[in-house]
Homo-oligomer: A and B are copies of this chain.
């Protein structure tokens, strides 16, 4: 009975499936901190052998998502508010720099597309369509990330990691319409900084945008 069929696990190896499965469960707070993660138990639940589970856990240990506690198995380490704060700080620094890298080489096409996303998000706010707001804001960020990935692949990887870790804390973005409005205002500033080709301004507005997101995230420790 193969239980790993949750998402789009197509032609990936069992280890990769196991790794992603466990990582997602950890990042979404499915495993409470200090809960014992036993290889054989997890292997049984997932319908695979211990080998891929073990390799997945060791990879996750390297990422700091699980910690080995002697012979009591692995566990998700207890995270503190200081960790949370530091993660957002690093994210602000990295993404601020990423945006400043973008501003000197962004195409007119990309700028136009970004502007359209902002317009649609505002439309969503005015009409009270939360899905449209969420979708447009997500697309705005996704386009930026895509541009970063093509120009600075390693920087992109680091940013992606930081975002993953932060997933453990915030339930989802844009909880309130008020937060969505603030987010759109931030996007407008980002777009302006890009159009002005001002690296310093890019860095500033992106950092501010992320610290704003941190404030809106409201430190939901985790639940299920």
Contact = CB atoms under 8 A, between A and B. Distances in A.
A90 B59 contact: no
Which secondary structure dominates chain A's binding surface? helix
Contact of A58 (B55, B90, B97, B154): B55
B59 A154 contact: no
Contact of A62 (B59, B90, B152, B154): B59
A145 to B, nearest CB: 16
Nearest to A62: B59
Copies of this chain per assembly: 2
Contact of A87 (B63, B83, B97, B154): B154
A86 B158 contact: no
Interface in A48-86: 54-55, 58-59, 62-64, 83, 86
A154 B65 CA distance: 12
A199 to B, nearest CB: 12
A15 to B, nearest CB: 8
Interface residues of A, number: 22
B55 A90 contact: no
A154 B86 contact: yes
Contacts of A59: 58-59, 62
A155 interface: yes
A14 interface: no
A54 B158 CA distance: 25
Given A62-B63, A93-B94, A86 B152 contact: yes
Nearest to A59: B62
A158 B158 contact: yes
Nearest to A63: B62
Nearest to A153: B86
A20 to B, nearest CB: 12
Contacts of A63: 62
Nearest to A151: B86
A81 B58 CA distance: 31
Contacts of A83: 154
